[in-house]
A and B are shown apart, each in its own frame.
Chain A
Amino acid sequence: MISSNLPALQVVVPLIAAPVCVLLRRGTLTWLLAWLASWSAAAISIVLLIRVLDQGTISYALGGWLAPWGIEYRVDAVNAFVLVLVSLVGAVIVPYARTSIGAEIRSEQHYLFWTAYLLCLAGLLGVTITGDAFNVFVFLEVSSLATYILIAFGNDRRALVASYQYLIMGTIGATFIVIGVGLLYLMTGTLNLADIAQRISEMPVDRPLLAALAFLTVGISLKLALFPLHLWLPNAYAYAPSVSTAFLAATATKVAVYLLLRFTFTVFGKSHVFDDLPYGEILLALSIAAMFVASLVAIFQEDVKRMFAYSSVAQIGYITLGIGLANTSGLTGSIVHLFNHAVAKGAIFLLLGCVALRIGQPALSQMAGLAKRMPLTAAGLVVAGLSLIGVPGTVGFVSKWYLVMGALEKGWWWLAALVLLSSLLAVVYVWRVVEICYFREPSKDLATANEAPLSMLIPAWVFVIACVYFGLDATVTSETAATAAKTLLESLR
């Protein structure tokens, strides 16, 4: 009974837990509930992934209403992978969050934080699992609204402005998506993604179809912060509470990338819409711009969190680059980088949260001598930083390996060179941090600081160790990603 309803439970568990938090209103109790809900969600997603890899796609009719009429939840290798990613990150962050939000958020608001957190988790999982276009929009809004709250919790007043900025941009994005979905519905008379895909494959390429593709692409690109639609991201990441930043950086943009994959491949893949459209080329150009411009901007940031926020924009460039390549290796690189970047950035933002716990949000100069006062935090930052560069033995290398292979298989030398050149920019901004942490005397802010508590260090180091473990033994992640990539490419014409 429970086992057959797992796809529904995946979303329902956190979705129900969220309002219960409001009823409980007690910080500790809500934390325990969030813990329970997020760990169950993680367990469910792992079971689903194993089942999908074993038996193939799972189709689940919500409420027993079959597909064209009811909402279908459809789990294949692609979204099972993303579900695991999102829910695992959510699960690891919860134990960490208690101490961190204790320092950064007023205690009477803690239950609200957990409510927003669970809603956001439910929304992201919902977007990922559903096979229904309108349902995508609904869950996207659930997660987005929760995200605005999570950002606005930041105790810097600029967090409100950042949240507002994201609200405007996010709403434009969501509107575009709903327009795109509306156009598709108008043309096909169905909201089921599989049915839409099947029907538009037989249609001629006309203006509504192009418009639908354009609205959806731009709308989703806003949410995933594709250059130059990334302007909301640096501020949002910089001023949100540490926990929110880590959670959003590791999950929210990844789910948006998943949507892009789903629409460009599964939905539009069989139609003729790409025939005369330089879609891949545009995506490649924007990705390359993201990799270089955002990395360059990152080099000149003083605020460490902002610096790594720009680094996220650059890393998203690698992900979309693989989508633009649209061959097995490139797409595998892109999908595996969803996971790889999530653990690396998750580690970095959690560790920065440890620093923030001691001295508040750090400027780069305030991190001087961090290695003397907080050796584990500093060491973790180095490892995760190496992963951003893509040094062999870390997860970043695995992604770059596939991306370079994807580029070379197409014979695009220059593209492989650009991917690797941009990694060198990461060396520059990562090494700024390394030098300051290790070869300066402790700053006066850090003079009396000591290492962060274990409740924060352990979750952060789970990500750090994941950076190395999945960098050395990448068979599981890359095989899953390769399966997902093949699933997506099968739906191309």
Chain B
Amino acid sequence: MNIADPQLALAIPAVGAVLIALCGRWPDVRETVTLATAIALLVVVASLAQLVFAGERPSVTLFSMLPGLSIALTVEPLGMLFGLIASGLWIVNSIYSIGYMRGNNEKNQTRFYVFFAIALACAMGIAFAGNLLTLLLFYEALTIATYPLVAHKGDPNTVRSARVYIGILLTTSIGLLIPAIVWTYIVAGTTDFVAGGILEGNLQGPAVGLLLGLYVFGAGKAAVMPVHRWLPAAMVAPTPVSALLHAVAVVKAGVFTIVKVIVYTFGVDFLFTQPSSSWLVYVAAFTIIAASIVALRQTNLKRLLAYSTIAQLSYVVMATAILKPLSEIGAAIHMVSHAFGKITLFFAVGAIYTASKKTEITQLRGIGRRMPWTMTAFTIGALSMIGVPPTAGFVSKWYILAGSFQADNYVALFTIIASTVLNAAYFLPIVFWAWFSEDTSEPDKQHGEAPVAIIIALTITAALTIAFFFFNGPALELESQLVGRQK
């Protein structure tokens, strides 16, 4: 049997979800099934990756949805990278979930694991979507599947936040993304992802900029301002959800959609000739700066990370909007490096909560001595967000900067420099307080490190963050295929 089949990548987590539901009564079996599913998924995705490295584009048409429009999967470099991050980090995240959900005695754990697996199936569908319709189908399914995870606690406050979450995501996708896709279909006669784009010669003038706008804001998961508010609202979810979904799978699905549409629907070269598309750099730059300034003023750790994520997502959007080969590579690589760094940060924040129930920045003074593993990981994650070598964040920033020089885009250059300063301004004080300040917590609230499953998980991701600085060759090679065919 050939395991390098994109259908399997969807089927495994979907079947896993069913099995997890059936094993709900035995937590140990259930969690074993989750881990086994995650590992099986990575094996399949990795075997797909071998094919893609060799230049193949595994492709399969599942069925026809509307006359002339089918649900189809095609694996290409960009989706391959997204699929690899999401499936790889799912394993780590599952280990972490076990420690977190048990450590905090969360309710409805079976529901949690079931919808997590479904969400991963949807993420795979997005990663390997062969056309816009397939992408849309899984994009919406991901919104719906993550809703129960966001609303997990079920108290009125959480339900209200979850309402913001689903409200904004459905509004943007139904109100903007669907018309964008219908429009594309009408002018181009197809929704397939084709290298070089399908719109050249079919659309001209200001309409191009408008359609781009529909896509950028329609993919609300990318959290480009002003459709970013769902992300801070989603922080009511348990931390494993924030870590994998709202730092990796869901938000990356958003920026992935934007990058994919620019590369495979508009075509980078075509879009570069269209002056009406130039606004995107400015909007993304504004989002980066504004979100960073808002992050400066946050006192809640998870909200701080949420605003940091908004800024980092717009890095990807800005990089792809620069429309130069190096910046497109930078955009793709930044999805990886941000994923490693941000999941580490969320893991650390969840570890702190599990061990001490602390959620505010001001409570972290001197915590480094109580939780050295956790805070080391946090420090590595924070350095990666700032872009300090030797962390993953440096690699992608390097490529984005190089792309900006290629395009002589000084707005982008200035934004990157300014936001680096801002990132340092909100992350470094936390790191400083944690390590060098006196422990002021009351003696009766003593605590040590978080459960061992959590420590294992965050050590792995922190190690990945550093490792990616040294071993990024394969990813770069993969993504240079992305731009290789376009000069």
Residue positions of A touching B, CB distance < 8 A: 386, 389-393, 398, 400-401, 404-405, 408-409, 416-417, 420-421, 423-424, 427, 431, 435, 438-439, 472-475, 478-479, 482
Contacts and interface: CB of A to CB of B under 8 A. Distances in A.
In the complex, which range does the number of interface residues on chain B fall in? 20 to 34
B159 A420 contact: no
Interface in B39-61: none
B484 interface: no
Contact of B170 (A401, A427, A475): A427
Nearest to A421: B175
B179 A439 contact: no
B170 A389 contact: yes
Given A392-B133, A393-B141, 16 more contacts: A389-B170, A392-B139, A393-B140, A401-B66, A404-B182, A408-B182, A409-B186, A420-B174, A420-B175, A427-B171, A431-B166, A431-B167, A438-B154, A439-B151, A473-B64, A475-B66
Contacts of A416: 179, 182
Contacts of A482: 67
Nearest to A441: B154
B144 A475 contact: no
Main secondary structure of the interface of B (DSSP, over half): helix
A414 to B, nearest CB: 11
12 contacts: A386-B144, A392-B133, A392-B136, A392-B141, A404-B179, A416-B182, A417-B175, A424-B174, A431-B167, A438-B154, A474-B65, A479-B67
B137 interface: yes
Interface in B165-195: 166-167, 170-171, 174-175, 178-179, 182-183, 185-186
A439 B140 contact: no
B151 A427 contact: no
Contact of B63 (A420, A423, A472): A472
Contacts of B171: 424, 427
B64 A405 contact: no
B288 to A, nearest CB: 29
B163 interface: yes
Contacts of B19: none
B67 A408 contact: no
Nearest to B147: A434
B25 to A, nearest CB: 15
Interface of B: 63-67, 71, 133, 136-137, 139-141, 144, 148, 151, 154, 159, 163, 166-167, 170-171, 174-175, 178-179, 182-183, 185-186
A475 B174 CA distance: 22
Contacts of A431: 163, 166-167
A398 B66 contact: yes
B163 A435 contact: yes
B154 A439 contact: yes
B169 to A, nearest CB: 10
Contacts of B151: 438-439
B118 to A, nearest CB: 13
Contacts of B148: 438
A478 B186 contact: no
A401 B170 CA distance: 16
Contacts, number: 80
Given A420-B179, A472-B71, A479-B67, A408 B166 contact: no
Contacts of B174: 389-391, 420, 423-424, 427
Contacts of A404: 178-179, 182
Contacts of A435: 159, 163
Contacts of A393: 137, 140-141
A408 B163 contact: no
A439 B159 contact: yes
A227 B166 CA distance: 30
A439 B154 CA distance: 5
Contacts of A400: 178
A427 B173 CA distance: 12
A472 B136 CA distance: 12
Contacts of B67: 475, 478-479, 482
Contacts of B186: 405, 408-409
A392 B140 contact: yes
A417 B178 contact: no
A388 to B, nearest CB: 12
Contacts of A438: 148, 151, 154
B66 A474 contact: yes
A234 to B, nearest CB: 26
A417 B139 CA distance: 20
Contact of B178 (A386, A420, A475, A479): A420
Contacts of A475: 64-67
Given A427-B167, A473-B65, A478-B66, A408 B178 contact: no
State the 4 A-B residue pairs at the shortest beta-carbon distance, nearest first. Answer: A392-B137, A439-B154, A392-B140, A439-B159
Contacts of B178: 392, 400-401, 404, 420
B65 A472 contact: yes
Contacts of A474: 65-66
Question: Which among B65, B71, B154 has the greatest number of chain A C-beta atoms within 10 A?
Answer: B65
Contact of A391 (B140, B167, B183): B140
A421 B171 CA distance: 8
Nearest to B153: A439
A104 to B, nearest CB: 33
A337 to B, nearest CB: 14
A475 B140 CA distance: 21
Contacts of B170: 389, 391, 424, 427
A105 B107 CA distance: 42
A405 B65 contact: no
Question: Which among B64, B136, B171, B174 has the greatest number of chain A C-beta atoms within 10 A?
Answer: B174
Question: Which among A398, A420, A478, A479 has the greatest number of chain B C-beta atoms within 10 A?
Answer: A420
B123 to A, nearest CB: 15
A408 B184 CA distance: 11
A417 B167 CA distance: 17
B102 to A, nearest CB: 23
A478 B66 CA distance: 7
B69 to A, nearest CB: 9
Contacts of B63: 472-473
A353 B330 CA distance: 56
A405 B182 contact: yes
B167 A408 contact: no
Contacts of B141: 392-393
A467 to B, nearest CB: 14
Nearest to B64: A475
